[in-house]
Amino acid sequence: MALLQVRDLNKRFGGLHAVNSVSFDVQKGAIKSVIGPNGAGKTTLFNLICGSLGADSGAVKFDSKSILGLKPYQIASTGVSRTFQNIKMFPGMTALENVMVGLHTKSKAGFWAGMFPLPATRREEKKIRARAHELLELLDIDQFADIEASSLAFGQQRAVEFARALASDPTLLLLDEPAAGLNIYETAEVARLITKIQQQGITVLLVEHDMSLVMDISDEIVVLSFGQHIAEGTPGEIQHNKEVIQIYLGE
Amino acid sequence: MASRKLTSIALLVAVVVAVQVITQLTGTNYYLTQLTMTMYSCLLIVGLCLVMGYAGQISLGHAGFFAIGGYTSASLTTMNLLPAFENGSSCVTALNKMGLLVTRTSMFGEPLLTVHPWFACLLAIAITALIAFLIGIPVLKLKGHYLAMATLGFGIIIFRIVLAMEFFGEADGISDVPGFTLLPGLTVNGDMDNRVVNYYIAAAVLITGFILLLNLIDSRVGRALRGIHGAEDAADAMGIDTARYKLYTFVLSAVFAAVAGVLLTHYTGGISPSDAGVMKSVRYVAIVAIGGMASLWGALTMGGLLNFLSLRGLFGSYDDAVFGAILIIIMLFAPEGVLRLSIWSKIKPTKEAK
């Protein structure tokens, strides 16, 4: 059974059918990419899966459980984590603190425990800190731990964002255009990180513009155009798909 | 980190003690009255600072929560239940049996049966928390200007209610509120010979509340709140129930306001509609802004300084105007608060200079 199942998903914005009966599966352990020209409905699809937009109809099942209609924070706690196209670091917080926020679902201390920090709470806090360092190390950016995250270079911020998204121990990681705004070197680094993340046993679904990145790392690709599912297959199949070539290069 | 917090708190305690000793030595004991009142206002202000600076929400209705706390406690501890008791009201009898009522004599020597101050205080806090919770659910869905307007509306409603209801003494408010004996020997009241004790009670309450908030902002919840403030959708994606966190923070700060309201009312022996006024709320917001929004220490220092100067009458009849003007000036020239003005960083040695 596929880890993520999207069935007949629909979303309209007024007269625009942004996502039109889209169905696909993401197999456990795979890197799957959603590509398509501008306005194809990729980001809308992404937001529907994450819960930041409500769907008009259809189904999204994660680990055989429906997640459609849940709020983003509820979806996050089921084991789906995400990054943002325009990297959203928490301003005024260090790289380490950003990742520590990412560990929210892995810790418990509430308002009472926060105001009256008993030994158990302090231990938890120590664990959070240690785990955050581990994640930064995993992505080779622990040297930036105490630097304000939003003042780092774009590529480094992207890595911090990955660490933050990995903090919740997700089964599925959703990446919204991870190469957006990065130069070719940084993009190559991102590709390396995504492969590394996959090696941790995490399934990856990404929406991306950068063809070189998508073709290099994806196991499978879904092509959208004007909200519709056009093609699906391995990078090799997609590169030779007539319809896809037509969409990208014209007649 | 923890040791730095400890040092700062120790310094704060030292300042509190030093001020008292100085007033003792110089025979300026009367300052303690305004200082005590200032500290209760500061309790409200640091609570508001958590909402504004950390959770990133604005409230122009905090004087309302102060008033709900103060008025509840004042009305319950002054309402004479003796006639009802003599008429055999089962409710009053039951309360009396539970030991929640006390008998005392009024200023004119009449016997009174009123609600016990401790019970009144806890009820006041509970009612404020409940109202904050119920108001917070719909209101905190709003953002920015809309939230400001909605909380302003709430503040105005509370102001008009206490002004209009006979039960709350209309324009006169409630006076002759009795002292509040926290523990034997520790009574919150305005007696001249009880000044020093009250000064330390206020300081103890304020510093305790302040430490709780310092702990909170250093915790998982504090990080979540700063996350919500900085990038709400990202915080949401981290699994943070943003609506719930905002609501709890709002309720917590309302409780701080209620405690301040209860204690200040027992201290001054009364409360009037002006304590619920919108200008009071604006003043609190202005002080949090001057302190630097996301700075509990800033809010505490500025709250202490400006409230004290205002209570000493330094701003004369322009009191409210001064706070309005301060708010404008801060927003224009120092949106990060005066303690973070670039002039300070020029004076302070930088890391390289060290």
pLDDT in tens, B176-200: 888 888 888 888 888 888 899 999 9
CA pair distance B65, B45, nearest whole angstrom: 12
Interface of B with A (CB under 8 A): 212-213, 215-216, 218-224, 226-227, 230-231, 233-242, 248, 252, 294
H helices, E strands: number in chain B:
15, 4
Residue of A nearest to B218 (CA): A114
Nearest to B233 among A88, A114, A117 (CB): A88
Q: What is the mean pLDDT of residues B237-265?
A: 95
Q: Which residues in chain B are contacts of A114 at CB distance < 8 A?
A: 215-216, 218-222
Please, what is the average pLDDT of chain B? 88
Burial of B273 (0-12, 13-18, 19+ CB in 10 A): buried
Residue A114, CA distances (Å) to A94, A95, A110, B219 in order: 20, 22, 6, 5
Residues comprising chain B, all counted: 354
CA distance B228 to B235: 5
Quickly list DSSP for A18-70: EEEEEEEEE-TT-EEEEE-STTSSHHHHHHHHHTSS--SEEEEEETTEE-TT-
- CA–CA distance, A99 with B246 (Å, rounded to integer): 21
> CB–CB of B280/B63 below 8 Å?
yes
Whether B160 has a pLDDT exceeding 70, the answer reads: yes
**Closest residue of A to B245, CA-based?**
A111
Residue of chain A whose Cα is closest to the Cα of B214: A115
Continuous H helices in chain A? 42-50, 72-78, 95-102, 111-115, 119-138, 154-166, 184-199, 211-217, 235-239, 242-249
What whole-number distance in Å separates Cα of residue A205 and Cα of residue A173? 6
Residue of B50, B223, B336 for testing the chain A interface, max A β-carbons within 10 Å: B223
For residue B17, pLDDT over 60 is answered with yes
Judge contact between B60 and B155, C-beta under 8 A: yes
Q: What is the mean pLDDT of residues B18-46?
A: 93
Kindly identify which residue of chain A lies nearest to residue B219, measuring between CA atoms: A114
C-alpha pair distances (Å), B49 with each of A25, A111, B8, B176, B303: 47, 16, 18, 32, 11
A88 at the B interface (CB within 8 A)? yes
Reported as a pLDDT band with limits 50, 70 and 90, residue B353 is very low
Q: How many CB pairs under 8 A join A and B?
A: 105
User: What pLDDT is recorded for position B344?
Assistant: 54
CB B321 within 8 A of CB B80: no
Least confident of B11-20, B209-218, B284-293: B284-293
The pLDDT > 70 percentage for chain A reads 100
Confidence of residue B348 (pLDDT cuts 50, 70, 90): low
Chain A residues with CB inside 8 Å of B227's CB?
Answer: 90, 93, 101
Chain A residue with Cα closest to B241: A73
Tracing tokens 């307007």 back to the chain, one arrives at: B149
Q: ipTM score of the complex?
A: 0.89
| Chain B residues close to A104, C-beta within 8 Å | 220, 223-224, 238-240
Residue B40: closest CA among B221, B207, B171:
B207
Element spanning A225, H or E? strand A220-225
Helix (H, G, I), strand (E, B) or coil at B3: helix
**Cβ-contact A57, A146 below 8 angstroms:** no
Q: Are A197 and A173 in contact (CB under 8 A)?
A: yes
> Which residues, at least 6 apart from B289, have a Cβ–Cβ distance to it below 8 Å?
B52, B327, B330, B331, B335, B337
Please check the confidence at residue A39 and state whether its pLDDT lies above 90: no
Specify which residues B188 forms β-bridges with: B180
Q: Buried b vs exposed e over B125-137: b needs ≥16 C-beta within 10 Å? A: bebbbebbeebbe
pTM, 2 dp: 0.91
What average pLDDT does this structure show over B201-214? 95
Query: What mean pLDDT do residues A105-121 have?
Result: 90
Which pLDDT band, with edges at 50, 70 and 90, does B342 fall under? low
Asked whether the CA dihedral A141, A144, A150, A153 is positive or negative, the reply is negative
Question: Does the distance separating the beta carbons of A109 and B220 come in below 8 Å?
Answer: yes
Distance (Å) of CA A85 to CA A45, A176, A183, A206, B205: 14, 5, 15, 11, 47
